[in-house]
């Protein structure tokens, strides 16, 4: 099992952690009120030629390799997605299509935009809020999102593929990873499996939502994710939640389970259709 970096794992049972995270509190992360127009819920990827692994990937790995850094794994995009779309004069569906075959830098070059200048503009909200050293780290991360195709595909479109959630799924769903993978391959959603295991779907949803919110809050606490981006990413995952927990044969069946494997960032999806 992948250990989540979130504090809620330290001696706090899942039920207690969920109750604490869902309880309203002053300054707590609220549910998003931003529009999800142009930020459609996750859907199965269309069949495209395999473009190969990212350029920073070790030799011999598959195209779904990702670095194991927490900011990648947990989807802590270092700038606001809608700001990026605006500066690239593009839309979320267009970016999704580009990333099936090439990194986002390709689109920037087509717009006659330099990646370094784009990154500097996108990181402007961090100035005065983090140290120079942290700003340099964020600059490196932001640049990677433009130069690494699959990394950016994961950051923007792979809802629920974060260890902060995945590490708790056996407890939430009531099945081990192997059984969940088998269930997904047979067309069951994680919600189907939870119900089959005698779980309340409402309780499962509450636990998942609490973990998604905690993950976003942790990214903000570590100065890895801006509050505005946290709201946008959470809105995307909330819009995709019915697909994750929906009935048998739903649009997301076989896409919600993600299992990191081995050292050095080598990863794979346990089910189909996520690359």
pLDDT tens per residue, range 228-242: 999 999 999 999 999
- Is residue 222 in some structural domain? yes
- Is residue 51 in some structural domain? no
Residue 89 sits in which domain range? 65-269
d(CA 251, CA 273): 11
Give me the number of domains the chain comprises.
1
- Is residue 23 in some structural domain? no
- Is residue 133 in some structural domain? yes
pLDDT tens per residue, range 161-209: 999 999 999 999 999 999 998 998 888 889 999 999 999 999 999 999 9
Q: What was the pLDDT predicted at 47?
A: 39
pLDDT tens per residue, range 4-17: 333 333 333 444 43
d(CA 231, CA 32): 5
- Is residue 19 in some structural domain? no
- Is residue 26 in some structural domain? no
Residue 98 CB-density burial (10 A; 0-12 exposed, 13-18 middle, 19+ buried): buried
- Is residue 41 in some structural domain? no
In Å, how far are 7, 197, 220 from 151, measured between CA atoms? 25, 34, 20
């Amino acid at each position: 099992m992948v250990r989540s970096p979130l504090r809620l794992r330290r001696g706090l049972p899942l039920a207690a952690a969920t109750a604490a995270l869902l309880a309203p509190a002053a300054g707590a992360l609220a549910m998003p009120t931003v529009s999800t127009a142009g930020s459609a819920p996750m859907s199965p990827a269309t069949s495209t030629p395999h473009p190969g692994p990212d350029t920073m990937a070790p030799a011999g790995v598959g195209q779904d390799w990702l670095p194991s850094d927490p900011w990648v794994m947990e989807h802590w995009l270092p700038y606001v997605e809608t700001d990026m779309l605006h500066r690239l004069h593009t839309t979320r569906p267009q970016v999704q299509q580009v990333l099936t075959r090439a990194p986002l830098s390709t689109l920037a070059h087509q717009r006659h935009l330099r990646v370094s200048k784009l990154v500097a503009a996108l990181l402007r909200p961090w100035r005065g809020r983090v140290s120079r050293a942290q700003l340099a780290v964020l600059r490196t991360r932001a640049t990677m999102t433009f130069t690494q195709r699959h990394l950016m595909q994961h950051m923007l479109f792979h809802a629920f593929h974060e260890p902060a959630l995945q590490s708790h799924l056996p407890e939430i769903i009531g099945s081990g990873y192997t059984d969940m993978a088998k269930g997904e391959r047979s067309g069951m959603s994680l919600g189907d499996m939870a119900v089959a295991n005698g779980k309340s779907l409402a309780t499962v949803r509450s636990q998942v939502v609490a973990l998604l919110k905690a993950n976003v809050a942790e990214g903000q606490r570590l100065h890895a994710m801006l509050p505005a981006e946290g709201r946008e990413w959470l809105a995307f995952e909330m819009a995709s939640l019915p697909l994750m927990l929906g009935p048998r044969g739903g649009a997301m069946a076989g896409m919600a389970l993600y299992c990191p494997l081995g050292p050095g960032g080598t990863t794979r999806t346990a089910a189909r259709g996520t690359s």
